[in-house]
Amino acid sequence: MDRSFFKGFWAVFGAFVIWGLFPIYWHQLKQVPAMQIVAHRVVWCTVFVVGYLLLRHGSGWLRAALGRPRAPLMLAASSVLISINWGLYIWAVNSGHVVESSLGYFINPLFNVLLGVLVLHERLNTAQRVSVGFAAAGVAWLTWQLGAPPWIALGLALSFGSYGLIRKIAAVEAIPGLGVESVFLFLPALAYLLWTQYQGQSAFGHLPLHLDFMLVAGGAMTAVPLVWFAYGARRISYSLVGIVQYVGPTLQLLTGVFLFGEPFTAVQAQGFGLIWAALAIYAADGLWRSRKRGPLPAMTTMAPAKPD
């Protein structure tokens, strides 16, 4: 395994650790409306990322990023998907749904299996079919017992899984890709923040100074794991990405239960248990298949696993 592989692995691992601990960060801003937090993430992420790109590459970075076939349309779509994911996630965290949010990211790798089948026409082996069946049973159990589907979890899995697929296919480098996404979202986000300021509804400037700072720093906190993930996921196999991603939702679940005191009932444990069984089967199959093939290759085509 070359240096590129190890750099990719640690970049992806670090991204999932940050994502796993994000509830602690956003919980400090729970008095700020979720839409305002998302808008600040977009605005300040744009400032940090585009500023870096201009200093490093000049104005040509945007033309180069958009010069790939279909890149403008695909990055516009990915920018919408990631903003939806951010908004739903922040709202869920600050509304006391960290445990269900973690479920979304446990489901995500198996949702990517379905993306591989439906979009890229991949075929599932027996272990993969069994794992998808266990995950579907877990979601069905939670739906039946709780009286409604776990919409937060399903929404997070759908939005982030689709985002990862588009970024994979677009094949734009990590930082320029994030820069383009930020540019697409910048003006709507800025207009929204200015409107809330005009309406006297803006939280920024009316909070303790350290919370204003956290809104600004959220841009950098947003950029770093997305760049690490996009960088790393193109340099390691997609199956390995799918295994490493379990770090994120595990940290989220532990945070929700032990730090924020959210309930984790027997019904949830049974539903999660079926999904964890699905992930165990899927991970074991991926490891067994990778050992048969030898060293894991750099990621070239999408295999059934999870981006986040």
- Please check the confidence at residue 6 and state whether its pLDDT lies above 50: yes
| 145 belongs to a structural domain | yes
pLDDT at 131: 84
Residue 157 near residue 104 (C-beta atoms within 8 A)? yes
> Above pLDDT 70, what percent of the chain?
93
The more confident residue out of 308 and 23 is: 23
pLDDT at 32: 94
Each residue's pLDDT tens digit, 204-249? 988 899 999 999 999 888 888 877 887 887 788 766 776 787 888 8
| 196 belongs to a structural domain | yes
Report the distance separating Cα 282 and Cα 304, nearest Å.
10
Number of domains in the chain: 1
| 162 belongs to a structural domain | yes
Report the distance separating Cα 133 and Cα 226, nearest Å.
30
| 154 belongs to a structural domain | yes
| 299 belongs to a structural domain | no
The more confident residue out of 155 and 7 is: 155
299 Cα distance to chain centroid = 18
Cα angle value 234/119/13 (rounded, 5°)? 30
Average pLDDT over residues 76-97: 94
Each residue's pLDDT tens digit, 267-286? 889 988 988 888 888 778 77
Residue 258 CB burial class (10 angstroms; 0-12, 13-18, ≥19) = exposed
According to DSSP, residue 86 is labeled H
Domain of 100 in residue numbering reads as 3-293
| 308 belongs to a structural domain | no
